[in-house]
Structure 1
Amino acid sequence: MNLLEKEILDRQIIEKLIPQKNPFVMVDKLLFFSNEKIVSGFTISRGNLFVQDSFFTAPGLLEHMAQSVALHTGYQYFLKQEPAPTGYIGAIKHIEFYSLPPVDSEVTTTVNILYEIMGVTLVRAETTSAGSVIARSEMKTVLVD
């Protein structure tokens, strides 16, 4: 069940929910939120750090996926009215890139939380663009105090 009353499309609000700051922000929309799942979006601009030859690179997609997990954590803490801790990628178990999206396109990532225990979260993420799956990953993120 989606716990959002409405999608959050304001980049300034999104930036308050994640620890990353410009120019390193790779999420700009919160489209769905539940305890087990988040759907985030990001519109790729030409000036993005991860754009090369007019395409968003694989490291950019990976960072977008990781920041989607951070957005999930940040929104959880926002609902509890507590400051969110900082986290980082602890391990990448599996990742596949099928295509790279061009500048001005939007990517949407669905992250399913497989488990959370003692600050470690295992997730499965799938990123789409223009209706096609462009990347999949399974990773662990770790929170730090």
Structure 2
Amino acid sequence: MRKELIERTTVLELIPQRAPLVMVDALYSFNETEIEAGLSVSSNNIGVVNNYMHESGIIEHMAQTVALHTGYDYFLKKLTPPTGYIGAIKKIDIYRLPKVGEELITHGRIIQEFLGVTLIELTTFCNGEKIAAGEMKTVIAKTDESQ
């Protein structure tokens, strides 16, 4: 079993999503440019139909992995984690759908980050098998304080 950096309940404090939209529940590794996050696929997850998580659920898990990277970075700096959005999906290939009971592990590597826009390469594994890969841009929402 993988060792988590933080408790699963703390993950919820680092992302803006709330149930039933939470699609990350573990943080396994983190540095300035990389993250490894997980999700135990359950029948309660958005995007699960007939015991399989569909493409939209995998993509949301990937996006929330990016949100967790940002949230944990802000947490370490003792700042409030911001809200962000998917700005663009460059390309995502999905090779198979995970079943309820399986765990997703997504590795993200930041390619570029500038003015709240992050371009990140993401690869998702299930039982050691690569099931999805691609790139997306995420954008941190402007707040009254950041404008």
Could you state the TM-score of these two structures normalised by the residue count of structure 2?
0.92
Structure 1: runs of 5 or more not aligned: 1-5
Counterpart contact for 1:39–1:109, Cα < 8 Å: yes
2:136: which partner in 1? 139
> Which deviations, in whole Å up to 9, do the C-alpha atoms of 1:77-123 show, x marking residues without a partner?
00110111110000000110000000010000000000110000000
Q: Could you tell me which residue of structure 2 aligns to residue 16 of structure 1?
A: 13
Question: How many corresponding residue pairs?
Answer: 140
Normalized against structure 1, the TM-score is what? 0.93
Tell me, in whole angstroms, the C-alpha distance in 2 between the residues paired with 1:54 and 1:9.
28
The SS at the match of 1:108 is strand
Q: What's the CA shift for 1:48?
A: 1.8
Structure 1 equivalent of residue 85 of structure 2: 88
Q: Contact 1:125/1:137 (CA < 8 Å) preserved in 2?
A: yes
* 1:73 aligned residue: 70
Flag structure 2 segments of 5+ consecutive residues without an equivalent.
143-147
The CA RMSD measured in Å over matched residues stands at 1.0
Task: Provide the C-alpha distance between the structure 2 equivalents of 1:53 and 1:10, rounded to a whole number of angstroms.
Answer: 30
**Pairwise mapping of residues 116-127 of structure 1 onto structure 2 (< 5 A)?**
116-127=113-124
Tell me the equivalent position of 2:145: none
Match of 2:48 among 38, 46, 51: 51
